[in-house]
Structure 1
Amino acid sequence: MDLMTTDVDRRPRFNARLGRELAYLLTNLPLGIIGFVVTVALLALGIGTAVTFVGIWVLAGALFAVRGGAVVERARARALLGEAPPEPLPVQSARSGPLNRALAVLGDGMAWRGALYFVVMLPWGIITFTFALVSMIVLFPALPWIARGLSQVDRLLVNGLLAPGGLTERVRELEDDRGTVVDSAAADLRRIERDLHDGAQARLVALAMDLGLAKEKLTEDPEAAAQMVAGAHSEVKLALQELRDLARGIHPAVLTDRGLDAALSSVASRCPLPGGVRLGVDLPERPASAIEGIAYFTVSELLTNAAKHAQARSAQVEIWRADDRLMLQVRDDGIGGATELPGGGLAGLADRIRAVDGVFVVSSPVGGPTVVTVELPWRTRTQQLDKRN
């Protein structure tokens, strides 16, 4: 019964939907004229002056105008045709500056598809306006069917030329994610450089100076020289510990040698939560090293957040494989209220995970508990080696 009702509802007939479709068909002509004149005039001017520097800006301005007009057309389709074409991502340039942004617009496929749409809309607008008007006067009984057929073509034009394709949007998302990863890597390099400069390097410089003074005092005051050597020995231990901590922050050796279970066991044992960390790792084999590294640093940072900010007493970490995904979940009994604030630690984690086609979900009501669930693509080490070869 429901299926029959749905089929009847979809049949063309005299109703409010017909009125909206007629409004769309009749407004195609005036909007088509405006869009055609503006698009063709600006593009012709830009192409005609393309040999000069001004032509670049005219073309870029024309395509900016086209993208603006496309926003209006998508809104009209949503309001009158019931379509839901997604909005494309804004044009982004790999480099900053007005000229680079203008060049990015010139290479934007959505802008050129929009220009084609407005060129096509003039002749199509004449057709739809004429048929709709004649049908309202002469072919009134057939009006619902004529309006439905014409509006179906409009739907195809909007979805085909003004809506971003799934592959196009995916490529754009990957480009944005790549930029995020590059920025994160640059920030990590700056952090490593700062830690080396302010930590181990400073200690080693002080150590070299102390040893030089001890050498000078070796014959004059052996006892003082021995004390200075003893102090230098302590500084060496501290410098080595800082270097170990730094190396662990880059990529711990235990992760490379023994995998996630052993590496996260070490992290859990060092976590300063009063109730400790319960760890469960159920993996039939080891994933690719890049996925292992992301999982390791995600758990490490989430446990650090639980200890420093959530006022948690205990935490639980679970890692398992589900089909072609590596799943991990970190739960703590802290105060909750954790959110992905721009520029915050959780947002940085989410960006890194989504950059490799992963999923990052936070559930943290005020009062707790906080549960972070992460999905990462499962890639085996064999697949990684085959890709490299």
Structure 2
Amino acid sequence: MSSPVTPPPTPQHVGFFRGPFARRSWTELLFLLAGIVPAALGLAWFVVVVAVGVSLAWTVVGLFVGGWLLLGTRAFGALYRLMGRAMLAVDVPPPAPFRRGTGFWGRLRALLGDVPSWRAWAFLLPSFVVSVVGLVVSVVFVAAPLGALTYGFWYRFLPLQQAADGTMHRGTQYGTDWFVDTPGRIWLQAAGGVVMLFLWPYLERAFVHLERLLIVNLLGPTRASQRVGELERSRGRAVEDADDRLRRIERDLHDGTQARLVAVAMQLGEAKEQLAPGEPVPGDALALVSQAHDATKDALVELREIARGIRPPVLDAGLAHALATLAARSPVRTVLDVEPGVSAAPAIEALAYAAASELVTNAAKHAHASTVWVLVEPAAPTRPPRPGEQPATALRLRVRDDGRGGAVVNLADAPAGRGSGLAGLVERVRAVDGTLTLVSPPGGGTRVDVVLPLAVPSGSRAATGLQAAAHATTGGDDGAGADR
């Protein structure tokens, strides 16, 4: 719940004699003035969370109420981060967004286990103390010097006071009989006011620095969450980079190696024609050329299969066209239904095609199905949108067959780093924050729902690339259906 103490950024230094006249000093005073109301409200919220949480903790509903109140402390954190950015030059990034759990107990655990909410709650009490004490000290050390410097003009309007010896005095009284009503004492008091005025920025700065420390170390992300965020963003980029790399490999194989093999095959074909039967041929040259010609054609077939496995070129025409081609080549009757306008990022479409290919192959090879139905439609998002993201629909791929059923997912049998059957497909779907749901009662057919985001999220939990997903597009020969 705590984070390592991180020193806040050091503001620009202001010299001693420039302190009372520097913009920084008055901006920090404005921060203390503006923060007194949020500090009072924050203290009240702090007490409410404690009172309600303790009094209702014995009921499940009370735990939810306490959790929602605790979640509300995030609003105070956002307000103080905004004030710090505007007036203290402290740009603190927001903590990790709240992620709602699934199920009754999952939601309760998410509410009560939200670390940023607890840290914001812990911020409220010390922030109130620092804000109140800092504001009182600052106001006193600003108002008192101004009064002392102008005292010589307005002290004459003060009421007369009687000293212990019976004499009457008009002025400020210190102690029992010491009145500031002579020129020497008036100048002495003015000098004291000047000293207080030049000390004010340093005292104020101390309280503001404490406030900076609280904002940086309690309202921002922890180092662990920052590291996780960086890894998630880098993994999300890795998925996109892997798909781009697969595109380049497919293009290079198609335009480079394959083209050269075609030229060799043509040359061998011409040589074979010139070495026609009936002509004098040295040794077994004709047979050797024929074998080389056949081997070259076989290599071309294998090269086409490799290129298709890396990234099927048919995907360039869109997911709907690629699935139509898959259905036409399927060994079983495949009924395809793709809703118009459903499109996603190239990496997501490649993964959806890989999933469909593997599931159709499973239905034909392991489930002994006679018909497979493939449906592609919009779906609800697989996760709540992160701050700054627009809520968007996701892509649902549903593959259903009338086979023998009984399919299961056994993640323990999936080798690390590559997919194997349904277990490997689950891992590849999870890599982009997607979900896979399997319903396969024995004898009742199999239905698999794959929900994928429309774009590769920056927070993907794992992104070893789409090589494994692309490998499945060859028809699931890497053990597809091994989980059945």
RCO comparison, higher one (Cα < 8 Å, 6+): 2
- Which has more helix, going by share of residues? 1
TM (normalized to structure 2)? 0.38
Q: Which has the larger radius of gyration?
A: 2
Normalization by structure 1: what TM-score?
Answer: 0.46
